[in-house]
Amino acid sequence: MYHTIIIAGNVGRDPEMRYTPSGQPVTSFSVATNRQYTSSSGETVKETIWFRVTTWGKTAEVCNQYVKKGSKVLVEGTLRPDPATGSPKIYQKQDGSHGSSYEVTANTVRFLSSRDEAGGMGGGDMGGNFVGAPEEDIPF
């Protein structure tokens, strides 16, 4: 079966790039998506959902170079569930409340920020075919 997810949002922190034992580059960064709506009681509700995005190969190298905290990006990829549960990864926050982590393996990353906002690159498209490594090769 085929599934895809498309998210547009702001990068929450600078990317981190690592290499698998076979030398393949892997870059990860977080993206926040925001939504505002009015509830049935008339109350304005603001919602932020965080995604951890992983990119591979040439896309990983370009994202590591040009994506910065605050950059606006559009990511197309696949949602990766927690292998143990088949759902998002659940974790405990510092304040004791629970949160969930949605993991996305990116096929395409588009840079939506202007040139000034993105450190000299704007409106770009870093897509293409990627070859993912087995889970045990991922160094984090």
Which residue ranges make up each domain of the chain? Answer: 5-133
pLDDT digits (tens, 9 = 90+) for 53-96: 999 999 999 999 999 999 999 999 999 988 888 888 888 888 99
| Average pLDDT over every residue of 84-111 | 88
> What pLDDT is attached to residue 32?
94
Is residue 135 classed as helix, strand or coil in its secondary structure?
Answer: helix
CATH class held by domain 5-133: mainly beta
Query: C-alpha distances in angstroms, 139 versus 1, 23, 129, 134?
Result: 28, 11, 21, 11
pTM listed for this prediction: 0.75
